[in-house]
Amino acid sequence: MKKDFYPFMLEREMSIWEYQVKYNLSESGVQPMTIEGLAEGDPHFIESLLATSLGYPQTNGSLELRDQIADLYRGATRDNVVVTTGAAQANFTSILTLMDPGDEIVVMLPNYMQIYGLARNYRLSVKTFSLKEELGWGVDIDELNRVVGKKTVLIAICNPNNPTGHIMAVEEREAVITAADKVGAWILADEVYAGSEHHTDEVTPSFWGDYEKVLAIGSLSKAYALPGLRVGWVMAPEETANEIWARQDYVTISTTMLGNKLAAYALSTEVRDKLIARTRSYIRRGYGNFERWCRQHDDLVSLTPPDAAAIAFVRYHREANSSEIVRRLINEQDTYVVPGDHFGMDHYLRISYGLSEDYVNEGLRRIKEILSST
């Protein structure tokens, strides 16, 4: 067994605690949908679900589903789409396809730490550039330009960003594309939070179509509130999509037949609009409530407002280490949030507000208890 394996602490700890604590404010999506809610007012869909034959679907995703996903992206066809077991597998298989050990990857930080950890375990040479709180969680473009160089094979970004909720401005997007173009690097854009915007009903535009060497990663887990379906996808130039599919043959073969069927239903125009509207209403209502709490407790925390997603990356005004604070939160208050440590940034907590208001408020009250007594 390799001794220096770099574990994915964020996912592992969330998985341990999310069903053990009473108040779990670690979730980055909103209250998940039920199948009943998804099919509301459409008994025929439930009937067709019950009649589904549980064979293997086409292994890169059903034609119907790939057509619907392609419709979300400018100029794409089903041949650009590989349906994966969540965005998690899309990220994993994409990196394995495009990179060899020793290759250089440039990763945005903070970030969902999957690609960062995967890159270390896969012996890639990892460089980073930052989103800075003093820039409203904007990209430090000078740093980006300093770290991207001739050896860079791929730049990994997350937009809208987990954990900060930042949506990149036009200048930031252009800076990433220009930096990649200069050295012929790929851009892997993890866009799973597109559709969960706070201030606009316009879905955050994809990097797809703005530059040739883009892999755009999407998912039904966040904006569509269907994480348990485990359906995500990667958009890639056709030849690359085929290469990614070839790796998938070895890992999972395919996603599930039920997943493909439910995902295609979720992405049909009417249902899709309903799901996104539901997510936005959870997020917008929840954020107002959460922001009030932050203002009331500005001696304990400060908040740089997120633009999207059901999470905020909150700085707390205490010396104690974030993992220690979370440990106390679990032990003394039966509550869990993600410590900044898991993003390589101590003195922050990632807190979720996309769940029901009473539940969030009780969780926040418990966080206040711990911070006040620290």
Ligand X SMILES: Cc1ncc(COP(=O)(O)O)c(C=O)c1O
Does residue number 117 form part of the binding site for ligand X (CB under 6 A)? no
- What are the Cα distances from residue 292, in Å, to 167, 172, 198? 22, 30, 16
Cβ distance to ligand X smaller for residue 224 or 245: 224
Does residue number 190 form part of the binding site for ligand X (CB under 6 A)? yes
- Closest approach, Cβ 23 to ligand X, in A, equals 19
- Closest approach, Cβ 83 to ligand X, in A, equals 11
| Contacts (CB under 6 A) with ligand X, residues 25-64 | 28
Residue 333 token pair: 């208050």
CB 184 within 8 A of CB 210: no
- The DSSP annotation for 46-72 comes to HHHHHT---SPPPTT--HHHHHHHHHT
Does residue number 262 form part of the binding site for ligand X (CB under 6 A)? no
Tell which residue, 207, 281, 244, 295, has the closest CA to residue 85.
244
Cα 291 versus chain centre, distance: 22
Contacts with ligand X: how many residues (CB under 6 A)? 13
Give the span between the Cα atoms of 124 and 101, in whole angstroms.
5
Handedness of CA 166, 148, 76, 227 (dihedral sign): negative
CB 125 within 8 A of CB 154: no
Does residue number 254 form part of the binding site for ligand X (CB under 6 A)? no
Region near ligand X per CB under 6 A, out of 84-92, 171-179, 201-209, 246-254: 84-92
Count CB atoms within 10 A of the CB of residue 364: 24
Q: Which of 221, 279, 322, 352 binds ligand X (CB under 6 A)?
A: 221
Tell which residue, 157, 180, 168, 106, has the closest CA to residue 135.
168
Cβ distance to ligand X smaller for residue 191 or 243: 191
- What are the Cα distances from residue 130, in Å, to 76, 228, 350, 362, 366? 31, 31, 17, 33, 31
Does residue number 260 form part of the binding site for ligand X (CB under 6 A)? no
Does residue number 229 form part of the binding site for ligand X (CB under 6 A)? no
Cβ distance to ligand X smaller for residue 76 or 311: 311
- Closest approach, Cβ 217 to ligand X, in A, equals 7
Q: Which of 88, 194, 271, 337 binds ligand X (CB under 6 A)?
A: 88
Does residue number 158 form part of the binding site for ligand X (CB under 6 A)? yes
Tell which residue, 234, 5, 27, has the closest CA to residue 117.
5
Does residue number 86 form part of the binding site for ligand X (CB under 6 A)? yes
Give the span between the Cα atoms of 243 and 97, in whole angstroms.
7
Does residue number 206 form part of the binding site for ligand X (CB under 6 A)? no
CA atoms within 13 A on the CB side of 153: 16
Give the span between the Cα atoms of 179 and 158, in whole angstroms.
16
Cβ distance to ligand X smaller for residue 175 or 188: 188
Cβ distance to ligand X smaller for residue 82 or 370: 82
Cα 211 versus chain centre, distance: 21
Does residue number 82 form part of the binding site for ligand X (CB under 6 A)? no
Region near ligand X per CB under 6 A, out of 80-88, 146-154, 270-278, 330-338: 80-88
Does residue number 131 form part of the binding site for ligand X (CB under 6 A)? no
Cα 14 versus chain centre, distance: 14
Tell which residue, 306, 186, 269, has the closest CA to residue 234.
186
- Closest approach, Cβ 319 to ligand X, in A, equals 29
Q: Which of 76, 82, 87, 264 binds ligand X (CB under 6 A)?
A: 87
Tell which residue, 110, 82, 85, 105, has the closest CA to residue 95.
105
Q: Which of 26, 204, 219, 248 binds ligand X (CB under 6 A)?
A: 219
Region near ligand X per CB under 6 A, out of 83-91, 99-107, 252-260, 319-327: 83-91
Region near ligand X per CB under 6 A, out of 82-90, 238-246, 247-255, 297-305: 82-90
Count CB atoms within 10 A of the CB of residue 304: 17
Q: Which of 17, 112, 336, 353 binds ligand X (CB under 6 A)?
A: 112
Binding site for ligand X (CB under 6 A): 28, 86-88, 112, 158, 162, 190, 192, 219, 221, 227, 232
